[in-house]
Amino acid sequence: MLITEILARNARMFSDEMALVERDPAAHRRVPLTWNAFDSQANQLAQALRAAGMAKGDRVVELLTNCIEWLPIYFGILRSGAVAVPLNFRFDATTIESCITLAQAKVLIFGPEFIERINSVKSALDHWIERYIFVGPPEQQPAYALSLSAFMQGHPQSSPEVELQLLDDAALYFTSGTTGTPKGALLTHRNLESACIVENHHHGQTHEDNFLCIPPLYHTGAKMHWFGNFIVGAKAVILKGIEPRWILEAVSEEQVTVVWLLVPWAMDILLAIESGDVKLRDYQLDQWRLMHIGAQPVPPSLVKEWLKIFPHHQYDTNYGLTESTGPGCVHLGIENQHKVGAIGRPGFDWEFQIVDEQLRPVAPGSPGELMVKGPGVMKCYYRNESATAQTLKQGWLLTGDIARLDEQGFIWLVDRKKDVIITGGENVYPVEIEDFLQGHPKIQDVAVIGLPSLRLGEITSAIIKVKPGQSLSKEEIQQFCEALPRYKRPRKIFFDDVPRNPTGKIEKPKLRLKFGGAEESFQI
């Protein structure tokens, strides 16, 4: 079933029930939206886009931070037959321009946060963009844009008659860009439908569940996890802000049952509890049944500490890529908490192989590249035949991740293929070292990168963020690392923040640029 049809069904079955609630704690703002209003707004936007000349397959860019308008706009674009193009709200002006140019988009729907960036490249965007639609306060609306309400005004709230098929193009998602220029992964309506089915199969959402959505909606992770609630007409809360107390307040006051967190946010909650900044007795949390994490490697020490504090929680790790329509091609499974550290087994309706450079299966236990096949594999990289040919092989998706299979059939992520450090002829996998260092009680976050070395090719280097109120010396790290084989020990240690993108991935290119020529270091 098309996800646009799922929305229409939810509106018929649960018309006046809450579909979405936006919470903005900083502004003391709470905005609810019923299923009927959600559906009607999507229809009205779709009608307006059709009336403005948008044809099936045309591209519409959505450049917004999380807000109550985000999902109705997304579904309105899909209902019109156009292709939705959500953009990362942290993209700079040049990247926004390149993505819009690649998409050859005709409409840009944007919020006030992006006015300055759009203005700086507008002359180039005008070559493609026919209509600028603004979502925000009237006093901030640029003269060249039409407000969303004005654009939709007077159009019917019924669904336009656009024939859509499961294999039609639906959405163009750009990769996070932590390793270079983002590529556009083209997803079909079948891809989006499969994400609903897979997520609900993995986490068993019912109509009574309530999902707390904190990560950015432009990313496949947050939205595709919400899909598990969406397919059964269950409520969701969109939280603007990631302070631990705001998260716990939302869970308590909205009676949230399912929360998807990124590693830094889970760490922050644990630190806030440990320091006494938040007290669990102040919140109603008994109904919270599932905490799951994805988008990045998860330190086993973090999960073990979490389950000490929340022993009644189910836990799951989810693995996926933009190119696999988000999470679910591999997942740990809530029944497998004893295997925390592994990314899990193939997801529902997915299969996998671990292969060498010639795409031949490697022996169990040996590292190789993980490739997956299933209903979420993207159609292609949009207008990029060479990248598509390198990534898609006879229906298989090469993930770029190095993995190994254990004796019980669980997949362990070793590292990103491009992040492997080759030092003195030995392969060192940063995730392994990061997991080890996360076991130190004074370390809040850590990133491990390779830096150039004339003698060894690369040397292993650790960037460490110390927990608030703690002190940690390089000598203490040296002593702690004596448990590692000598070739795996960090040769350089820096104390600094660990930059992460909105989906929680460590931005290692920034660290390589910052510390590549650094003198202040400690060598083991």
The bridge status of strand 83-86 relative to strand 426-428 is unpaired
Please, what sign has the CA dihedral across residues 323, 327, 329, 330?
positive
Do the beta carbons of residue 111 and residue 136 sit within 8 Å? yes
Question: What H or E segment, with its residue span, contains residue 331?
Answer: strand 326-331
CA dihedral in degrees (407, 409, 415, 417; nearest 10)?
110
How far is Cα 443 from Cα 440, in angstroms, rounded to an integer?
Answer: 6
Quote the tokens at residue 443. 């370390």
Look at residues 195, 4, 182 and name the one whose alpha carbon lies nearest to residue 82: 4
Return the biggest CA–CA distance within the chain. 70
Residue-wise pLDDT for 34-84, tens only, equals 999 999 999 999 999 999 999 999 999 999 999 999 999 999 999 999 999
* CB neighbourhood size of 260 (10 A): 26
The mean pLDDT value for 110-123 works out to 97
How far is Cα 427 from Cα 402, in angstroms, rounded to an integer?
Answer: 12
* CB neighbourhood size of 373 (10 A): 20
Residue-wise pLDDT for 478-499, tens only, equals 899 988 878 788 989 999 999 8
| pLDDT for residue 128 is more than 90 | yes
Quote the tokens at residue 251. 């869970």
End-to-end CA distance of the chain: 58
How are the residues of the chain apportioned to helix, strand and coil, as percentages rounded to the nearest 5? 35, 30, 40
Look at residues 147, 164, 135, 149 and name the one whose alpha carbon lies nearest to residue 63: 135
> Could you write out the DSSP letters of every residue in 162-227?
----TTSEEEEEE---TTSS--EEEEEHHHHHHHHHHHHHHH---TT-EEEE-S-TTSHHHHHHHH
| pLDDT for residue 520 is more than 70 | no
Would you place residue 178 in the very low, low, confident or very high pLDDT band (cuts 50, 70, 90)?
A: very low
Residue-wise pLDDT for 210-256, tens only, equals 999 998 899 888 899 999 999 999 999 999 999 999 999 999 999 99
Quote the tokens at residue 259. 């929360």
Residue 490: phi and psi, rounded to 5, are: -60, 130
How far is Cα 244 from Cα 238, in angstroms, rounded to an integer?
Answer: 15
Which residue's structure tokens are 């860019």? Answer: 61
Our measurement of the distance from residue 270's CA atom to the centroid of its chain's CA atoms, rounded to an integer in Å, reads 21
Our measurement of the distance from residue 345's CA atom to the centroid of its chain's CA atoms, rounded to an integer in Å, reads 20
Give CA separation, 485 vs 104, 390, 426, 475, 480, in Å: 52, 35, 12, 17, 12
Which residue's structure tokens are 């716990």? Answer: 248
Would you place residue 523 in the very low, low, confident or very high pLDDT band (cuts 50, 70, 90)?
A: very low
Indicate the residue type of 375: P
The mean pLDDT value for 139-162 works out to 97
CB environment 113-148: b (16+ within 10 A), e (fewer):
ebbebbeebbebbeebbebbbbbbeeeebeeebbeb
Quote the tokens at residue 141. 């609306």
The mean pLDDT value for 374-394 works out to 96
How far is Cα 505 from Cα 511, in angstroms, rounded to an integer?
Answer: 13
pLDDT for res 24: 96
pLDDT for res 132: 98
Q: Which domains does the chain have, with CATH numbers?
A: 3-12+35-193 (3.40.50.12780), 420-515 (3.30.300.30)
